[in-house]
Amino acid sequence: MQGWRLYFLGFFPVCVQVVELEKKIVKQRDTTWKMLEAKSHKHLQKKIELLEMHLNHVTVRYNTIMARNNQLREETVSMQIQKATYDNYYWKLDESLVQQNRLLNAAVEQATEDYEQWYVALSALWAKLGAEGETIQYNIRLLERKLALHQETRLKNFFLAKCTDLSELKEQARKREGIRGEFVESYEVAYKRLQELSNGDIDDFLEDFIEKDRRFFILFGYAIRLNVRNEGLRQRIQEIEVCPWLFVSPLSRLETAEEAKKCEKKCEESSQLLGQIQSRVETLLKDMDCDTSVIVKPLGESLVPIFGRSGLPIFLCHVPCPPPSHTILIEVLISLVPSVMDVPK
């Protein structure tokens, strides 16, 4: 009995410990389940948030695509409207082109008929003249060759005159080189004069003078070119005004009249521009205070319309200019007017 009591007293604490351990196990199990449930809930929540974010991105992309689609539809409609407008313009221009081609073909046919009529009249004229026509052709060729020979002679005389002038200038330069030693004092006086004019700054004074001189020669050369163009236009106007109207068709007469008006207009514009250049050159000459006779003299008579005969000395040509070849041909053709009037139409 006492043994059983001792056994029970030794076994009881063990039972108590077992019970406590079971309670701890149950408690630990409950805690573990709660933690697992909590973790599972957070995982689901994260997954839901990720899916919602993906849905938002897809929605934004879909809205962007739809907006772009609407924009492209509007552009398509606008382009269709523009295409219709351009088609309308195209058909109008096509009709205008067809009409212009018709007018052009009619004008070409009319010109062809006029040329044929002119050729028939000219053939009748040459048939009527006979030997006289051959004589006239021979005289025309002879006059042309005489004119070419005269121009060559004039050119040779011109070159000889210029070479003579050049030799004279070289001789003057040699003389100046020979007596240069006598002008040392004059150079000193000129240097002092330059210092007085430039207030001691000769470099700026010389640069200013060189700039004015450069502008003068630029305007001078441009004026010469405009003058040559003016003379050519005047000669062209005279040739057009004196042309033989009897051998020209009405269409050619209109074209010749228009060409004469254009030449007169160009001549007037060139004259106005020459007047402006003349005033500017005179201003530069006054500012530079220099003698231009050495520059202008070798250039000949072509500068008379620009600067006038009173303002500058003129170097006249040694050989008078011959009449142009077109004037000689016109005089020969005018002599045939009575014969042309008798040609049957």
Task: Render pLDDT for 78-122 as a digit per residue (tens, 0 to 9).
Answer: 999 999 999 999 999 999 999 998 998 898 899 888 878 877 877
pLDDT of residue 217: 75
What distance lies between CA 332 and its chain's CA centroid?
A: 45
User: Comparing 58-62, 82-86, 181-185, which segment has the lowest mean pLDDT?
Assistant: 181-185
Q: Does residue 95 belong to any structural domain of this protein?
A: no
Please report which helix (H) or strand (E) contains residue 344, including its range. none
Task: Render pLDDT for 127-165 as a digit per residue (tens, 0 to 9).
Answer: 776 666 667 677 767 877 887 788 788 778 877 777 787
Q: Does residue 60 belong to any structural domain of this protein?
A: yes
In the predicted model, is pLDDT for residue 319 greater than 50?
Answer: no
Number of domains in the chain: 1
Q: What span, in angstroms and rounded, lies between the C-alpha atoms of 83 and 272?
A: 50
* CA angle centred on 232, ends 230 and 237, rounded to 5°: 95
Query: What is the pLDDT averaged over residues 6-33?
Result: 72
Residues of the chain above pLDDT 70, percent:
63
Q: Which amino acid is at 178?
A: G
Query: What is the pLDDT averaged over residues 233-239?
Result: 73
In the predicted model, is pLDDT for residue 75 greater than 90?
Answer: yes
Domain that holds residue 69: 1-80
pLDDT of residue 85: 92
pLDDT of residue 272: 75
Task: Render pLDDT for 194-213 as a digit per residue (tens, 0 to 9).
Answer: 777 777 777 777 788 778 77
Q: Does residue 120 belong to any structural domain of this protein?
A: no
pLDDT of residue 5: 55
Q: Does residue 166 belong to any structural domain of this protein?
A: no
Q: What is the average pLDDT score of the chain?
A: 70
Q: Does residue 113 belong to any structural domain of this protein?
A: no
pLDDT of residue 339: 38
* CA angle centred on 156, ends 154 and 159, rounded to 5°: 110
Model confidence at 251, pLDDT cuts 50, 70, 90, reads low
- Radius of gyration in angstroms for the set of CA atoms belonging to the chain, rounded to a whole number: 54
Q: Which amino acid is at 89?
A: Y
Q: Does residue 227 belong to any structural domain of this protein?
A: no
Model confidence at 247, pLDDT cuts 50, 70, 90, reads very low
Q: What span, in angstroms and rounded, lies between the C-alpha atoms of 175 and 169?
A: 10
pLDDT of residue 311: 40
In the predicted model, is pLDDT for residue 244 greater than 60?
Answer: no
What is the number of other CB atoms lying within 10 angstroms of the CB of residue 200? 9
Q: Does residue 92 belong to any structural domain of this protein?
A: no
Q: What span, in angstroms and rounded, lies between the C-alpha atoms of 58 and 52?
A: 10
Model confidence at 316, pLDDT cuts 50, 70, 90, reads very low
Can you read off the two tokens belonging to residue 229? Answer: 């163009």
Question: What is the DSSP code string of 5-38?
Answer: HHHHHHHHHHHHHHHHHHHHHHHHHHHHHHHHHH
Q: Which amino acid is at 327?
A: T
Q: Is the dihedral of CA 129, 131, 133, 135 positive or negative?
A: negative
In the predicted model, is pLDDT for residue 26 greater than 80?
Answer: yes
pLDDT of residue 173: 72
Q: Does residue 182 belong to any structural domain of this protein?
A: no
